[in-house]
Amino acid sequence: MSVLAQIFRPGMRHALPILVFLLGGFAAPLLAVIAFSFVPSRTFSLWSDWSFDNYVEIFNSSSYITFVWSLGLAAATVAILAVICYPVAFGLTRVFGRYATLITLLFTLPLFVSENVRLYGWILIFIKNGVLLGTLKSLFGWEPESIVFTHGLTLMGMVYVYLPFMLFPTTLGVSMVPQQTRDAAFDLGASRWQVFREIDLPLAMPGIVIGFLLTFVLAVGAIAEAKVLGGQQIIPITHDIEIAFTYAQNWPLGAALSVLLMLVVGTLVLIVLRRFDLDAILGRR
Amino acid sequence: MNSSADRMRRALIWAWTAAVIVFMYLPALGLVLASSTSSRYFIFPITKWGFDWWQKTFASLEIHQLFRTSLLIAACVTVIAVVIALFGALAFARYDWKGRSIYQKIVLLPIFFPQSVLGLALLLWFNALGFTMSWQTAVFAHLVWIIPVCTLVISIQVYSFDPALEEAAFDLGATKWQVFREVTLPVLFPGIFSGALFAFLLSWGNFPLSLYTTGADTTLPEYLYAKMIAGYTPGVPVLGTVSTLGAAVLLLLGYFIIVVLRRRRSAGSDEAA
């Protein structure tokens, strides 16, 4: 009876559809991946002898290189985006006034175009005889080497794709800093730098950290940037996983790699999300 | 405060933001330019301008089929996501209940998850259940990611919702269904509308989830990806331009509708007062 009473409370009742859906659509697939990571290599059935062989195989292979690439690229992406996005977020909250909505829309739009299409646009800009090099050639007769298919361009592609995911949480964070607090600090003689370091940054931190987390997690799972812009110069971990699932037809190995990636991502997400009061960030109550 | 230094700082922030916006839209420029040449290969500066490839692309039956599949998936995702997310958002932001804080974090988890891995996990799961991949499994896969996003978008509107409105309606003798239809739904409409817009556009542009879960059916982003890998086809920039412009038109139209709705509502409340 008490369980039924719990379920039929309005909050739980409204939460039920989404929870049931996520149980079948998110929790169950992840459990299936975990289970698959223990079955023998190149089998497609769950009901065989379970062992740690796939993990042993991974630790004896060079997969750690792709792991390091993925984590390193993601960390670099986060660091660059933090610097790019903070001034824009500050502008959206305090400088742009009635233009802020329009500018937000401009940053939202790219999210709705498939990322591989947008990355392909960069190829057209940077390729030999493309928009940039073609212009340089016809105007100045200068023909520099194309930077397509390099490490640097891969990183730029990641910065480009994940920019909105850093910008929006940062903007939420910056808008949580009360203007009165800043004014009071200025009135008491604080310098710009002091206000930034002791008021703006700490009070905006919840949003900024959520931006860090979201960008990092998505960037660790990035695959299109290395394929489209990097020309396979960099092999990210997601590529290894994809190969295991597709060409190699070795699902258990792919599953084991996914489990390791999920462990990294999951630990980070749980540590960070646990500490946050989402009502305060989203609802400003 | 020194006002000329302050003006300088504001100008710097404007300039920085403008530069970032240019950065965001440079690839779109590349697509537009490459789509408006008549030659088989893209060489800049363009010598033969023309829209031949637009005609050829749109005359193709294969492309029509791609559009139909993508639209079908996006439409199904929008309808299902909005219904589930509306209730999800009420639980997220409207009601105070035990377990809400954990619930909020559970809802966020699929957003904080690499999509390509999620796509593969779903492929494995569907396979274990014995399903054949098709556009229906892709709808399900999109929903796993889009329902949480949609819930967040609607929640932001729900936070500013005053529960006293519902209570007043109950006091005046309205039934549960009447309150939902006449009070809750209209008040939350701008949020629901934005949620639907997000759901549609995110599904329309999704690649990593579609890649593993559509099976024999193909969506537009998947087709473009396959063509991109295979070498240069002028159809890719054409379709890329179309998706960008289409998303822009939908987004602006949606924004305009929300502004009009807000205006009308605030005018209505002025009359009432």
In tens, the pLDDT along B230-267 reads 777 788 888 888 888 888 898 889 888 888 887 887 77
Q: Work out the pLDDT band at B268, boundaries 50, 70, 90.
A: low
Strands (DSSP E) found in chain B? none
Residue B43: inside a domain, yes or no?
no
Measured in Å, how far apart are chain B's first and last C-alpha atoms?
42
What's the structural domain count of chain B? 2
B140 and B203 belong to one structural domain: yes
B105 and B164 belong to one structural domain: yes
Residue B40: inside a domain, yes or no?
no
B13 and B120 belong to one structural domain: no
Quick check: A70 and A62 in contact, CB under 8 A? no
Q: Which has more pLDDT, B6 or B74?
A: B74
Cα–Cα distance, A253 to A54 (Å, whole number): 5
B77 and B195 belong to one structural domain: yes
For residues B28-42, average pLDDT: 80
Report pLDDT digits (tens) over A122-145: 888 888 777 777 777 778 877 777
**A8-17, A261-270, B129-138, B229-238 — which is least confidently predicted?**
B229-238
Q: Work out the pLDDT band at B72, boundaries 50, 70, 90.
A: very high
Report pLDDT digits (tens) over B166-209: 889 989 988 888 988 888 888 888 889 999 999 998 999 899 89
Residue of chain A whose Cα is closest to the Cα of B246: A113
Q: Which has more pLDDT, B57 or A189?
A: A189
Structural domain boundaries, residue B7: 1-35
Residue B42: inside a domain, yes or no?
no
With an 8 Å Cβ cutoff, are B204 and A116 in contact? no
Integer CA distances (angstroms), B61 to A52, A55, B58, B67, B223, in order? 49, 47, 8, 10, 13
SS (H, E, C) chain A: CHHHHHHCCHHHHHHHHHHHHHHHHHHHHHHHHHHHCCCCCCCCCCCCCCCCHHHHHHHCCCHHHHHHHHHHHHHHHHHHHHHHHHHHHHHHHHHCHHHHHHHHHHHHHHHHCCHHHHHHHHHHHHCCCCHHHHHHHHHHCCCCCCCCCCHHHHHHHHHHHHHHHHHHHHHHHHCCCCHHHHHHHHHCCCCHHHHHHHHHHHHHHHHHHHHHHHHHHHHHCCCHHHHHCCCCCCCCHHHHHHHHHCCCCCHHHHHHHHHHHHHHHHHHHHHHHHCCCHHHHHHCC
Q: Work out the pLDDT band at B273, boundaries 50, 70, 90.
A: very low
Residue B244: inside a domain, yes or no?
yes
| Among the partner residues B95, B109, B152, nearest to A14 by beta-carbon distance | B95
B125 and B162 belong to one structural domain: yes
Can you list the domains of chain A with their CATH numbers? 62-283 (1.10.3720.10)
B31 and B163 belong to one structural domain: no
B4 and B93 belong to one structural domain: no
Q: Work out the pLDDT band at A274, boundaries 50, 70, 90.
A: confident
Q: Which has more pLDDT, A253 or B267?
A: A253
Percent of chain A scoring above 90 in pLDDT:
38
Q: What is the per-residue pLDDT for B85?
A: 96
B18 and B101 belong to one structural domain: no
Per-window interface: A 183-242 vs B, CB < 8 A: 186, 213-214, 217-218, 220-224, 227-228, 238, 241-242
- The residues that bridge with B37 in the sheet, in sequence order, are B49
Whether the CB of A34 is below 8 Å from some CB of chain B: the reply is no
Residue B46: inside a domain, yes or no?
no
Instruction: Tell me the backbone φ, ψ of residue A26, rounded to 5 degrees.
Output: -125, -55
Q: What is the per-residue pLDDT for A84?
A: 96
B73 and B101 belong to one structural domain: yes
Q: Which has more pLDDT, A146 or A217?
A: A217
B181 and B55 belong to one structural domain: yes
Cα–Cα distance, B204 to A179 (Å, whole number): 39
CB contacts < 8 A (A, B): 289
CATH assignment of the domain containing B237 = 1.10.3720.10
Give the amino acid at A13: R
Whether the CB of B183 is below 8 Å from some CB of chain A: the reply is no
Residue A35 pLDDT greater than 60, yes or no: yes
| Among the partner residues A87, A241, A273, nearest to B120 by beta-carbon distance | A241
Residue B159: inside a domain, yes or no?
yes
Quick check: B156 and A285 in contact, CB under 8 A? no
Q: Work out the pLDDT band at A2, boundaries 50, 70, 90.
A: low
Whether the CB of B188 is below 8 Å from some CB of chain A: the reply is no
Indicate the pTM of the whole model. Answer: 0.88
B150 and B77 belong to one structural domain: yes
Contact list, A46 vs chain B (CB under 8 Å): 128
What average pLDDT does chain A have? 86
B188 and B268 belong to one structural domain: yes
